Structure 1
Amino acid sequence: GYSVKEDRSSMNATFNLINDNLKETFDTMIKEAGINGLNGHRSVGGYRASMYNALPLDSVKVLVEVMSELERKA
């Protein structure tokens, strides 16, 4: 992420793709998986996954599966 480690939220995981050419592919994959709301901060971009108490564990597993699939394609 872009924030200083001491200022980072423990409820939000921020990340960027190593290869910006995969952004369109990743965006399509998360949309097809029913994942929304991963947009990062408007001033820095990237992605932000929020993990609040009400979030089902299965939704985290879906995101991990999509990220793993993207990694295999890269």
Structure 2
Amino acid sequence: MEEDLIEFRVKLGNRIKEIRKSKGLTQPQLGSLINKDYQDISRLENGKVNPSAFYIWQISKALKIDIEDIYNF
């Protein structure tokens, strides 16, 4: 079960990184859009944190995408 969670977090982080880069944003730029530090974005993209639903929603709005697109991995 723990391995599944780790795998999920890594896939989620990779997907967010992929979308962020496709939008031409840096980690600090995305962070500033949602009032997070770039280290927070880095930890998320590297699968080190369990983001809340609200955190993912904020990211989807900042990236101007549907929240479902983040989970399309």
User: What interval of TM-score do these two structures reach, taking the shorter chain for normalisation?
Assistant: 0.3 to 0.5
More strand by share: 1
TM-score, scaled relative to structure 2? 0.42
More helix by share: 2
Rg larger for: 1
